[in-house]
Amino acid sequence: MIQLIRGFKDILPDETPTWKHIEETAVALFQSFGFKEIRLPIVEKAELFQRSIGENTDIVEKEMYTFEGSKGELITLRPEATASVVRSYIQQKLYAKDPIQKLYTIGPMFRRERPQKGRYRQFYQINAEVFGIASPYIDAQLISMLWTFFARLGISGLSVQLNSLGCPACRPAFKEALSSLLASKTGNLCADCVRRQDKNPLRVLDCKVPSCQEVIGDAPSMADYLCDDCARHFRTVQSALTAQNIPFELNPRLVRGLDYYTRTAFEIQTEALGAQNAIAGGGRYDMLTEMLGGPAQPAIGFAIGLDRLVALLMEGLPQQELTPDIFIAAMGEETREKTFAWSCALGREGIRTEIDFSDKGLKALMKRANRVGAAYVMIVGTQEVEEGAVLLRNMETKEQIAIPIDGLVDQVKKYLTN
RNA sequence: GUGGGUGUAGCUCAGUUGGCAGAGCACCUGGUUGUGGCCCAGGUGGUCGUGGGUUCAAGUCCCAUCACUCACCCCA
């Protein structure tokens, strides 16, 4: 037996309606807020991610699926979507048409991590990105939109984690203060954090090892180091969220794993999914368009983890299946031509129709109709064909009525749609 | 990449100190000559994840390997 690749999964019919529902909910809402869809390739040059996400991140160091193209160039299965959206914004000169662009995209991402609950090597995200707006109100509006999104899906038990990562003007001072603290207590840090100390000291902040937590306990907070502009920006985001009645928690430990984030960083977390508790996350990345060779434009965006969202929704109520409106119980090969034609015609009329083409007895056919959950059964044997009328049985009430074969499809349709 | 747990029928799982491969559900047939669900009787279905090893004998013990799963890590 050929099995699928480790960390990948099939999304089976019992789940797809939930996926569809989530996607439709998102699209409808995002469109209301002025977002337009963009569709992007799932492969890009490796360089795009190396430069945007950052060389020293785990994603770039060890999690990307990268292979050589025919000319020896390095091609990567995208580990996230923002870099691609930015690339397109620059390459297609969308900024020339209008610097302000609100874009969303839905699709698979790939990261070679060890699989576990809520974490797959191919996973799906809905991304929304806004270019060209520096105002903190757009930050709040995005978070507000996300909040509404989850509310519409009926998901509760969520929290909004909020932090500011500063900007090139103020983050270096903070990083330095943090570094010197860490340097003085290297002995108390776990092995991972010793490594992070140089590469990405901010990451030490969300380490879960108790001894590291202790060190961090008296670590400086980014909030204390924000420059005036960043501080003002951050305050406005908070007051705007409060004005929208969106509860949030200031979380100085919230650090984005990707290098390109500036200022506002946020995450939507759930208690219900174990260790992988972030179902959406995002932040501002004001330097990225310029870093990638485009015009300097402020930007902010987020990604929703679809797999985790589906898992949340599937935990709740049992999903309702799409059951047939009518099951055609056809007996005898002599009835086949007619019943085949009717099944096609009913299907074309939008009536969910099932038919069994094998030669079974009525009892077996009824059993099958019951099993697939058909609302009605159309009983057709040689007797009915001779008499010029078939039987239509209501499976719930057991009532049976005769329907003339003449004009049958129209009559069945009329009967069923009442 | 590191650690723990689990792999036996389509599904959920039993399987004792190593001694004939099991149950429930599902499926098929019959009880009911052309009427489903409930009930009763019978039946189909297994390379015991895979490959080695120990043994007269391995689902059971040992080694390896693969997969699933949870956690670390990382993040959506």
- Report ipTM for this prediction: 0.83
Q: Domain range for residue A160?
A: 16-170+226-314
Q: Report pLDDT for A188.
A: 74
Instruction: Find the Å distance, CA of residue A7 to C1' of nucleotide B15.
Output: 32
Domain count, chain A: 2
From the alpha carbon of A384, which nucleotide's C1' atom is closest?
Answer: B34
Q: Which nucleotide is nearest to A209 (CA to C1')?
A: B72
pLDDT value of residue A263: 94
Task: State the pLDDT at residue A272.
Answer: 81
Kindly report which amino acid residue has its CA closest to the C1' atom of nucleotide B68.
A6
Contact A159, A273 (CB under 8 A): no
The whole-number Å distance from A316's CA to B14's C1' is 30
The CA–C1' separation of A134 and B52, in angstroms, is 65
CB A166 within 8 A of CB A285: no
| Residue A136: C-alpha distances to residues A233, A269, A284 (Å) | 6, 22, 10
| A4 CA, B14 C1': Å apart | 30
Q: Enter the pTM of the model.
A: 0.89
Tell me how far apart the alpha carbons of residues A354 and A356 are, in angstroms, rounded to a whole number: 7
- For A65-120, write each residue's pLDDT tens digit: 999 989 999 999 999 999 999 999 999 999 999 999 999 999 999 999 888 888 99
Under-50 pLDDT residues of chain A:
none
Please, what is the Cα angle at A198 between A197 and A200, to 5 degrees?
Answer: 75
**Nearest nucleotide, CA A304 to C1':** B76
Q: Are residues A29 and A131 in the same domain?
A: yes
Regarding whether A347 and A289 lie in a shared domain, the answer is no
Q: At a CB cut-off of 8 Å and minimum separation 6, what does A37 contact? A: A27, A103, A104, A105, A106
Q: Are A48 and A84 in contact (CB under 8 A)?
A: yes
pLDDT, residue A194, reads 74
- Sole residue written with tokens 């049958």: A408
Place of tokens 């390459």: A91
**A368, A356 Cβ separation under 8 angstroms:** yes
Nucleotides of B under 7 A from a protein CB: 1-3, 26-30, 32-37, 47, 66-76
Q: What is residue A219's three-state secondary structure?
A: coil
Q: In the prediction, which pLDDT does A182 show?
A: 78
Task: Report if residue A107 sits inside a domain.
Answer: yes
Gap between the Cα atoms of A11 and A16, Å rounded: 7
For residues A268 and A352, state if they share a domain.
no
Report how far apart the first and last C-alpha atoms of chain A are (Å, whole number).
Answer: 48
In this structure, are A233 and A361 located in the same domain? no
Same structural domain, A250 and A142: yes
Strands (E) located in A223-286: 249-250, 262-270, 278-284
For residues A257 and A204, give the distance between their C-alpha atoms in angstroms, rounded to a whole number.
Answer: 11
Fill in the amino acid letter for A12.
L
Q: Domain check: are A333 and A309 in the same one?
A: no
Q: Quick check: A105 and A42 in contact, CB under 8 A?
A: no
Nearest nucleotide (CA of A62 to C1'):
B1
The confidence score (pLDDT) of residue A319 equals: 60
Q: Residue A106: what pLDDT?
A: 97
For residues A160 and A251, state if they share a domain: yes
* CATH number for the domain that contains residue A155: 3.30.930.10
Half-sphere exposure of A115 (CA within 13 A, CB side): 11
8 Å CB contact between A313 and A25: no
Protein-to-nucleotide distance from the CA of A199 to the C1' of B20, whole angstroms = 64
Same domain, A107 and A151: yes
Other C-beta atoms closer than 10 Å to the C-beta of A373 total: 13
A273 and A344 co-located in one domain: no
Choose the final residue of a domain: A286, A314, A342.
A314
